[in-house]
Amino acid sequence: YIRVRLQRPGGEERRDIVRGTKAAEFHNHIFEKVNPEMEKLGFECKCLGGGKIEHNSKDKKIRVFGLSTGYGKADHSVTVEILKKVYTDYEITWSDDKK
């Protein structure tokens, strides 16, 4: 996954989003997909780092860990707070473990 900061050009309001997909081999592939979509909506994008997410929908558990070689490690505690807004009935944990 990557965490991306969205901001309108010249604006002060910022919003962070979390994006990821199994289809992306590397973190920059996720950014290359998200960035043009957000630019069409009038946002500037900045990648704040990344990591990995294990999503177990059967047990309703999400684990956030690892880092991005290209973008560095995102602040997983912030990522978890973003995920909790969507996955309200999940157990969501994070660690600095690499695996």
Q: Sorting pLDDT into bands at 50, 70 and 90, what band is 98?
A: confident
Number of domains in the chain: 1
What positions carry a catalytic annotation? 27
Q: Looking at residue 15, which CATH number applies to its domain?
A: 3.50.20.20
Name the DSSP letter for residue 96: S
Mean pLDDT within 61-78: 97
Spatial distance between the Cα atoms of 83 and 69, rounded to a whole number of angstroms: 22
Cα angle, residue 87 at apex, residues 89 and 65 outer, rounded to 5°: 110
pLDDT digits (tens, 9 = 90+) for 9-68: 998 999 999 999 988 989 999 999 999 999 999 999 999 999 999 999 999 999 999 999
Q: Which range marks the domain in which residue 75 is found?
A: 2-95
What residues contact 47, with CB distance under 8 A and at least 6 apart?
2, 3, 4, 5, 27, 31, 71
Mean pLDDT within 76-91: 97
Structure tokens at 94: 């994070």
pTM for the full predicted model:
0.92
